[in-house]
Amino acid sequence: MEHTFKAVDEELNGLHRDVATMGDLAVDQLKTAVSAFVRNDVGEAAIVAAGDSRLDEMDADIERRAVRFIALHQPMADDLRAPITALKTAMALERCGDLAKNIAKRTPQLKGPPSPAQADGIRKLGALVAERLAAVIEAYRVTDADAAKAVWEGDTDIDELHDRVFSEILSGMSGDPASIEASTHLLFISKNLERIGDHATNIAELICYQATGVELSDRPKSS
């Protein structure tokens, strides 16, 4: 019986490690996508597309293993939280990868590098989102509910910065009609970054529930 329990723990730990590794890759994808846009580096943007297929493969593998684990071992109550968290976290990370790829795909569509002001806004928002995504992955890695809650509570910072960047882009469009095409790409990039921040918050909620069995209350909103 002890051997069986050990095998189950090893299977679950392996699943947990692979989700954390997937998270590290998603963070790298995000950073590369933002860097490619800011530097107008088409080659760097292409790297993100290649990395996205790897995230898709990892998501499919984790889903298969998590579903198999649940079907085979039929965990109840507390024991069910870990495989469900792994499954849902992998799904969220796959979506983060898709959003990073969408950001990277806009780089070749620009006719030139973004203006310094535009680049600065996206750089700051991208850095904040990457920081929060990395923090929530580390919280997942060690199942730290307090660290996860800190990410959850910081969602308003991302929303507020996104709103500010979004407004600045819109103001630039109204003042320079020739910039409308490029600014439209910027609007989508800003929104994609904000959505990645939402996924980081969702992962934080999953971690807290896994660790404590208690769901967090309604997500904090910016004032």
Q: How many CA atoms lie within 13 A of 137 on its CB side?
A: 24
Count of Cβ atoms closer than 10 Å to residue 39 Cβ? 15
User: What average pLDDT is seen over the chain?
Assistant: 90
Is the C-alpha dihedral spanning 102, 108, 111, 112 positive or negative? positive
Asked which of 60-69, 70-79, 133-142 is least confident by mean pLDDT, the reply is 70-79
* pTM of this structure: 0.91
List, in order, residues 6 or more apart from 105 with CB less than 8 Å away.
45, 49
- pLDDT at residue 219, rounded to an integer: 53
- pLDDT at residue 111, rounded to an integer: 74
All structural domains of the chain? 2-212 (1.20.58.220)
Q: What is the pLDDT of residues 154-195, one digit of tens each?
A: 999 999 999 999 998 888 777 777 677 888 889 999 999 999
CA angle 58, 27, 42 (to 5 degrees): 95
- pLDDT at residue 223, rounded to an integer: 45
38, two tokens: 């800011």
